[in-house]
A and B are shown apart, each in its own frame.
Chain A
Amino acid sequence: MFLQLLINGLIAGAIYALVASGFSLIYSICKFVHFAHGAVIAVAAYILYALFSLLGMNFWLAVILTIILISIFGSVMNLIYKQLRKRKASNVILLIASFALLILIESLILLFFGADVKTIGFIKIAKGLEILGAIITPLQIFIVISSFILFALLFFLMKRTKIGKAMRAVSDNKDVAEIVGISSERIYMWAFIIGSAIAGIGGILIALEQNLEPMMGTHLIIKGFTAAIIGGIGNIPGAILGAFLLGFSENFGIWFLPSGYKDAIAFVILFIFLLFRPQGILGIRKK
């Protein structure tokens, strides 16, 4: 039982981390809450569904195309935010706008694809492997491993590449970064492209594991931002750490509470952090 909950927590954590890392990346650079990130994930899942299940495209080709399309989608979204930034909109306005975008995109999905649940039947339901009495499917192992590879790549990107360094510069101090010749608008665009690509990969993996439904983005982003706040908002390693913490505490929480309370557990943790440590685990309190 313990091991099973541990594994379930690990899988949930990996999925939340896929959501939280892109969300946190965008927050750290653009400094606002991008709720519509959840919708980006949902759109990626539905693009894969349309290309693979409806059009019958080769799976790997569909995956690559989905990631490209979703990056473009993310940058289009940035153009909408750019209109707001140009008019000196405050963070709160951007937050409400992202909220409106989330509902807008989900309603569009509902309009085009209908409310019924969709599945992508690429991987046949395999018999779970049994490890010391706990069951895990090969797909779930694949999700956990590929999310770890993705996080390593993201880490490398942020620490070692030129664009990553420029991103961190803008994140740290936008004005100084602009003085040394980094265009902050260009960096915002990159943040959205990379963040959305991560969301796309997350969307693909989630689409393989779970069913698709129009509101999936909302459920995911709720967990994503909770994880990001627990870990320290705007701190990408923190967000990943927070995501796993959230995954574990939700799954161990079912020991005491009915499983429907999973979401409530997430929010109780969110409240505790907002109350006692609003900067999160790895965050630094700003004066």
Chain B
Amino acid sequence: MFSAYFIHLLILVGIYVILAISLQLAVGFTGLLNLGHIAFYCVGAYTSALLALAGFPFWFAFLSAGIMAMLFGFLLSIPTNKLKGDYLALATLGFSFVIYAVALNWTGLTRGPLGLPGIPRPSLAGFVFSNNFSFLILTFVIGLISYLIIKRIIASPFGKVLEAVRDDELATKVLGKNTFKIKTYALGISAFFAGIAGSLYAHYITFIDPSSFTLLQLIPVLTIVIIGGLASLKGTVIASIILVLLPEPLRFIGFPSSIVGPARQIIYALLLLLILIYKPKGFSGKVKLE
């Protein structure tokens, strides 16, 4: 019924949805412009891959990926807690370069540029998600659970405090909230979901190397978050679906991949630029980027 390629695309959509809604939690709901999101994705992918290759079961590797990414989220939060706007963006961007440099150079652990091949497909209770259709279902279920959890967080009193921190941090402090802790939790939760997205990616492609976690990977996610609209989860999901599928016709027209690759980036960058100029709130955004 579904062609194999379409299933592949839908799996990518699922991974991007998790990445984008988790970034949305930090950027849109808490007002932390985190340009280091890909670093958490990277940490998750490597953690999961290394554990699975060492023989641990999938569910353990998968959860560890999230928790490890979360710890890195806490770690990043400590030095950047006082920073705002430009400075926060630069510091988080710097963080992602440090992670990239470590992934590339700690060859004893990550095999550096050679990457980690042969990551096993996930298996749960004896069932191996070896074909792509079953993997799509797994991705869909995990994506849905992530969406519901983040939605629940946002609707909770804690979520309201996050939005208060975004709108007026000082006032939130005056109300007796510990904004340091709140921002740390927000970044940690956001990182957790980026980590599990990384785990899914690693177990889907079955090969990872540092080149999957560069700045170029940030642009689509950031474009999705901004086009979908800040502080809008639904918008983010819809934007993920549209933006992942958008450049695909290029491939069907028959351009070689040496053109499709840069063309994809050009499409995303142009869209990002246009949306910032003409509709900086995105399509269903509730707040402005400050």
Chain A residues with a Cβ under 8 A of chain B: 32-33, 80, 83-84, 87, 89-93, 95-97, 99-101, 103-104, 106-108, 110-111, 114-115, 218, 222, 225-226, 229, 258, 260-264, 266-268, 270-271, 274-275, 278
Tell me the B3-50 residues at the A interface (CB within 8 Å): 33, 35
Of the residues A95, A107, A218, contact of B262 by C-beta under 8 Å: A107
**Please, which residues of chain A bring their CB within 8 A of the CB of B265?**
103-104, 106-107
A271 adjacent to B94 (CB under 8 Å): yes
Majority secondary structure, B binding face: helix
**Please, which residues of chain B bring their CB within 8 A of the CB of A96?**
222, 226, 272, 276, 289
Could you jot down 5 A-B contacts, CB within 8 Å? Answer: A33-B89, A114-B258, A264-B97, A264-B105, A274-B87
Kindly state whether residue B266 has any CB partner on chain A within 8 Å: yes
Instruction: Tell me the smallest distance from the CB of A224 to a CB of chain B, in Å.
Output: 12
Instruction: Tell me the smallest distance from the CB of B250 to a CB of chain A, in Å.
Output: 12
Instruction: Tell me the smallest distance from the CB of A219 to a CB of chain B, in Å.
Output: 10
Roughly how many angstroms separate A258 CA and B216 CA in the complex, as a whole number?
A: 25
Instruction: Tell me the smallest distance from the CB of B214 to a CB of chain A, in Å.
Output: 9
B273 adjacent to A97 (CB under 8 Å): yes
A32 adjacent to B86 (CB under 8 Å): yes
B89 adjacent to A87 (CB under 8 Å): no
A111 adjacent to B263 (CB under 8 Å): yes
B290 adjacent to A108 (CB under 8 Å): no
Instruction: Tell me the smallest distance from the CB of B290 to a CB of chain A, in Å.
Output: 5
Total number of A-B contacts with CB less than 8 angstroms?
A: 123
Chain B residues with a Cβ under 8 A of chain A: 33, 35, 79-80, 83, 85-87, 89-91, 94-95, 97-98, 100-102, 104-105, 112, 215-216, 219, 222-223, 226, 258-259, 261-263, 265-266, 268-270, 272-273, 276-277, 280, 288-290
Minimal Cβ-Cβ distance residue in B for A83 = B277
* B80, B87, B261, B276: most-surrounded residue (chain A CB, <10 A): B276
Roughly how many angstroms separate A106 CA and B87 CA in the complex, as a whole number?
A: 24
**Please, which residues of chain B bring their CB within 8 A of the CB of A110?**
261-262
B79 adjacent to A100 (CB under 8 Å): no
**Please, which residues of chain A bring their CB within 8 A of the CB of B100?**
263
Instruction: Tell me the smallest distance from the CB of B4 to a CB of chain A, in Å.
Output: 28
B262 adjacent to A111 (CB under 8 Å): yes
* B80, B261, B268, B269: most-surrounded residue (chain A CB, <10 A): B269
B258 adjacent to A225 (CB under 8 Å): no
**Please, which residues of chain A bring their CB within 8 A of the CB of B219?**
99-100, 103
Roughly how many angstroms separate A263 CA and B214 CA in the complex, as a whole number?
A: 13
**Please, which residues of chain B bring their CB within 8 A of the CB of A33?**
86, 89-90
Minimal Cβ-Cβ distance residue in B for A101 = B273
